Homo-oligomer: A and B are copies of this chain.
């Protein structure tokens, strides 16, 4: 045994220094690439020693001195965790790993303040936020030195908001074959949901632009009885009607309710979902749904992530207009 003196204890920079025959300061400099034009000789010694010891710097020690952890928080709206967001998490995780960051997934709770507090507690390097945080929250966050990603939020005009476009696309599709009475079917879930309102707004805008009456908002639970009751009230006002749904699951609930009420689809009741989930394409009738191509968002996130370490202020990502696409099914 040469230096394996301390059993079952993670090696510290001191151990590496000892083994390489240098000081801890040197170890730190070499390992951080930073400010180091040490002789090739020395660098190798340090690197070798670190590798042999499987040295991993202590996150706690580092956090203590930098005032910041190596954590990247991904904040997810609680209500919606489908394939889409899972892909986003995977993608972010891969990128973060390249920067040596740890990804922490956090579901937004009912209490926004509590959620924010929990995040701040991590002292994260950055927070990927898909619409959960309010502008004030973001400010609070950035005041602590954390970066809020994507940098430029659903800014400017509503047309820049992907979810607004989703709502508009739903309305357009539902009105394709002539005017109908429209409604937006929101998700009834105790947890908060940031996506519903802009989608509803998009529908309203599109409908108003055609001079039709404002669509109302329906709360559709994911249970047959409740969904049926909710739809029945709306159906009582006459057919044909069209319902833009919060997502494919809600759309499936609306269809089930429609069947139970004896409504014909798409004759009496046409329906559009959102997300193009696999299940939506497997049920009968196959859903017409809106596919969000949030390439712009993903690119922006990737760019912001990349910018995290190389301080060069990245130019704003080219803005390939957020796009939505209708997947034609059998429900419109």
- Report which A residues bind B (CB closer than 8 A): 8, 56, 58-61, 63-64, 69, 78, 81, 86, 89-90, 93, 102, 104-107, 109, 118, 121-123, 143, 222-224, 227, 249, 252-253, 255-256, 259, 278-279, 281-284
Bound CA–CA A63/B184 (angstroms): 49
The distance in angstroms between the C-alpha atoms of A56 and B120, with both chains bound, is 11
Contact A59 B121 (CB under 8 A): yes
Q: CB-nearest residue of chain B relative to A117?
A: B56
CA distance A330 to B58 in the complex (A): 57
Q: Which residue of B lies closest to A255 (CB)?
A: B282
In the bound complex, residues from chain B placing their C-beta under 8 Å from that of A252 are 279, 282-283
| Docked-complex contact B102 and A105, CB < 8 angstroms | no
- Which residue of B63, B105, B222, B282 is within 8 Å of A222 (Cβ)? B282
Copies of this protein chain in the complex: 2
Q: Is the CB of B222 within 8 A of A279?
A: yes
Residues of B within 8 A of A81 (CB): 81, 86
A66 to chain B, nearest CB (A): 9
A44 to chain B, nearest CB (A): 25
Nearest B residue to A120 by beta-carbon distance?
Answer: B56
The 7 closest A-B pairs by CB, nearest first: A60-B63, A222-B278, A256-B282, A105-B105, A60-B64, A104-B104, A252-B282
* A222 CB to nearest B CB, Å: 4
Q: A59-B63, A89-B107, A93-B107 are in contact. List 8 more A-B contacts (CB 8 A).
A: A64-B64, A81-B86, A102-B122, A105-B105, A105-B107, A222-B279, A224-B282, A252-B283
Name the B residues within 8 Å of A109 (CB-CB). 93
Whether the pair A259, B278 counts as a contact (CB closer than 8 A) is no
Q: How far is the CB of A108 from chain B (nearest CB, A)?
A: 11
- Determine the chain B residues whose CB is within 8 A of the CB of A118 once the complex forms: 102
* In the bound complex, CA of A118 to CA of B78 (Å): 24
Could you say which residues of chain B place their CB within 8 Å of the CB of A59? Answer: 63, 69, 121-123
Identify A278's interface contact among B93, B223, B284, CB under 8 A: B223
CB-CB < 8 A to A282: which residues of B?
222, 224, 227, 252-253, 255-256
Chain B residue nearest in CB terms to A284: B259
Q: Which of A64, A90, A109 has the most CB of B within 10 A?
A: A64
Nearest Cβ on chain B to A212's Cβ, whole angstroms: 29
The answer to whether A279 and B249 touch (CB under 8 A), given A143-B8, A259-B284, is: yes
